[in-house]
């Protein structure tokens, strides 16, 4: 699914986040920035341990904050580590929305033009995908409506079909409200 919001293209795709050639992919991180399982583990396996080493040097951070590192061997240029959960690996809609906002702000600070997100908090964090979609897409749409972003392409790359459907359904509903 593709939707144009201002000058930015918002895209929902099914696939592997680690394959995307974008300025930054977002890692579903914990506040200590260790990369173990889920999206973080996949990024570390494919991109190299250098990504985790750079991230950990910048942590720990508060839940809801984000840091940026290089992307090692990944096609992306950077990894934005968005702390959607603490060490207890629990999260909620507010933490996911704040981690999304922090990622977008960091992308703008570094004048990035493209970013790819996973469904934050839905893997290891066990948060319901539909609620994560609501929190993340609402944060992205608010960011885009502010009209001051450097981002021209925001992609949600979702590994599972159910997640892609939840994000597509949520975006259709949210854009119907506006």
- The whole-number pLDDT of residue 91 equals 96
Residue written as token pair 């207890």: 88
pTM: 0.96
Domain edges within the chain? 2-177
Q: How far apart are CA 141 and CA 155, in angstroms?
A: 13
**Which CATH code fits 2-177?**
3.40.220.10
- The whole-number pLDDT of residue 81 equals 98
Low-confidence residues of the chain, pLDDT below 50?
A: 178
Residue written as token pair 């506006």: 178
Helices (H) then strands (E): counts for the chain: 5, 7
Q: How far apart are CA 33 and CA 2, in angstroms?
A: 31
- The whole-number pLDDT of residue 177 equals 54
Q: How far apart are CA 141 and CA 100, in angstroms?
A: 11
């Amino acid at each position: 699914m593709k939707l144009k919001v201002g000058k930015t293209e918002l895209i929902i795709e099914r696939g592997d986040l680690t394959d995307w050639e974008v300025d930054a992919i977002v890692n579903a991180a914990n506040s200590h920035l260790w990369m173990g399982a889920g999206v973080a583990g996949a990024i570390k396996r494919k991109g190299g341990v250098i990504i985790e080493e750079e991230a950990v040097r910048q942590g720990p951070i508060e839940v809801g904050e984000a840091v940026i590192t290089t992307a090692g061997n990944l096609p992306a240029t950077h990894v934005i580590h968005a702390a959607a959960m603490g060490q207890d690996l629990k999260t909620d809609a507010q933490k996911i929305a704040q981690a999304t906002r922090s990622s977008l702000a960091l992308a703008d600070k570094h004048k990035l033009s493209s970013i790819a997100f996973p469904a934050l908090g839905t893997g290891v964090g066990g948060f319901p995908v539909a609620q994560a979609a609501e929190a993340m897409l609402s944060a992205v749409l608010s960011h885009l409506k502010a009209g001051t972003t450097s981002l021209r392409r925001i992609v949600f790359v979702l590994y599972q079909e159910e997640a892609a459907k939840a994000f597509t359904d949520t975006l259709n509903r949210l854009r119907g409200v506006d």
